[in-house]
Every structure is written in structure tokens, then in C-alpha cells.
Structure 1
Amino acid sequence: MVTTRWQGLLSITATTVVLILIIHISPAIAHSKISFPRQNNDFHFQKSSAIADNSLTTVKQQHSSSLLNQLNLTNQQKDRIKQIHQQYKQQILKKKNNLTILQQQLSDLMVGTESVELIRAKNQQLITLRQEIGELRFESMLATREILTPQQRQKFREIIESQVAQ
């Protein structure tokens, strides 16, 4: 009984994580590490990054579309999910833009002569902003969940589990 309960909890947790990843694969993943100041001749990196961002977005859209079709959503459900994702997407993009700025500022501080306290404070700002982005993604997931029927939630779980097993 206890083992089954833990397995169920782990399965739900895994499904939740996968849902977050599917819905919100971030094209900014490439920008999530600390980077040291770039030189002006970094056009190739920027172009490659833009291509990667577009590819990730296309893959995410195709996967989400396929997933939504498998769930047999009504047109009303599809519209509402699109509205939710647009709403949260705008909020997340604003925070991601701020995140990029903070990452560059931290990078500049790391190579400069500023105090350790100032560097730590900037890093804490980054941590807080990343947490806020994560919370927005989670809230988006919860709002989307409310639109699905219990049967669709179960079907979603089965689809995700079969994809994770592959």
C-alpha cells in the first residue's frame, strides 16, 4: 500500500514535470548560463542562437499540437488553452528579458572589481527571477489543467508516461 502510494505520487510528479517541459520548453535555455561579456563580432553566435530558438519553438508547437489532438479537446477548450498560454507567455517573456539583462550584469560583475556582496546580491536577484518564471509556468499549467476533464487528464498522463518510457 505504501509502495503503491509512493509510486502514484512519483508518477504524478513526473507527469507534472513533463507537462511543464512540454508546454514551456524555453528557447532561452541557451541563455540560462552565466556568460562573460560578448564582443561585438559575435554575430555568428547570435544567428545560431536565433536558429536554435526557432527550431525549438517549431518542435514545441508541433508536439503541443499533436498532444492536444490526442486529447480530443473541444474547440472551446483549445481556444481557452491558447488564451492561457498567450497570457502567461507574455509575462514569462518579460521576465526572461529581465533575466538576460541580469545575467549580463552578473557576468560583468564577475570580471570586474566589485565586492563579493554586490555579486551575491545580483545572483540573488537572478535566483528570485528564475523562481518567478517557474511559478508563472506552474500557474499556467494549473490553469490549463482546470480546462481538462478528468478523462482528458488521465489520457494526458497515459500519453506522457508512454513518451517517457520510450
Structure 2
Amino acid sequence: IEENIRYGNFGATQAEIEAAARQAYLHEQILDLPKGYQSDAQQLSGGQQQRIAIARLFLKNPPIIFLDEPTASLDAIATEQIKNSLDAIKQGRTVVIISHSLAQIVDSDCIYVMKKGEMVEHGTHLSLYEQRGTYREIFDASARSLNIGKLAKTLADDGDDVLDTAL
């Protein structure tokens, strides 16, 4: 794992590698492994492997980052962990995310909507939603597929603070 993260900066010290892993929300999970940072990265889950790649980005510190479907094929918990890592890496740089997951792009400064290979809309989440075009169709379909109304009611009835932190 250590060498895999170091790939982002071959001259990185152990302290820098650990700092990058902390920023990628991975350090504690690495320490739980029998060999810690000397463990084989192939033992890790898909979400943990994604966070190793994000830790590499923290070491590299590029001004522009391109991400293609960063949470594809991950479960909900791993997706949330990746989103937290990505929120941290986005600070102070340009990040281009290609994603079918609205959760990954909803807080973007600018969203470009593609349909049949053409850009059909662009703007912020709110401006695109209010246009009632392709983005709104995708957003509404996504909300229906998640049964968002029932989820929100369950959380509200339970008094859970998930809705407060999500908003």
C-alpha cells in the first residue's frame, strides 16, 4: 500500500504518505490491516483501492484532475467515503468529473449535460433543475429510482440528522 500511494510522488516521506492517506479517509483502515502500510493493496475493497488513487492525487497535487465514474460499482457506504475524499481533493483546483451519478456532480460549479453525444445543457444543479429539460428528467428519474420520497419520510419520521447534514 505504501509504495502504491508513493506512486503519486516517488520522493514522498512516510509522513507525507500517511498524511495523504488521512486526507483520502483511508489511514485508519490501513492501520487496521495486519501489516499496515506494508500490506498488499490487492487485499483492499474497491472503495479502498479508489481511495489509494485519491491519496496518490493528494501527493501529486496536480492543478487539474480528471475523474471518470469515480464511484462506479461501489456500494453506498464506499460511495459515501469516496465522495468525502473527492470533496477534500476538489479544494483549490479544477476537477472534471464524468459521471452518471448525480450525487457526484450535484454540487459542481458547472454541470454539462450530454445527450446522444451532444452537449444539450449546462449550468449549476439548481439552474438546470429549474430549466425542466434533460437534466431535470435525469434528476427526477434518479429520485424515483431511489424511492427518495419514502427515504426522506423515513429519515424525517425517525428524527435522524442525515437530512440536516445532507442539506
Q: Settle same-fold status: TM greater than 0.5.
A: no
**TM (normalized to structure 2)?**
0.25
TM-score computed with the length of structure 1 as normaliser: 0.25
Higher normalized strand content (fraction of residues) = 2
More helix by share: 1
Bigger radius of gyration among the two: 1
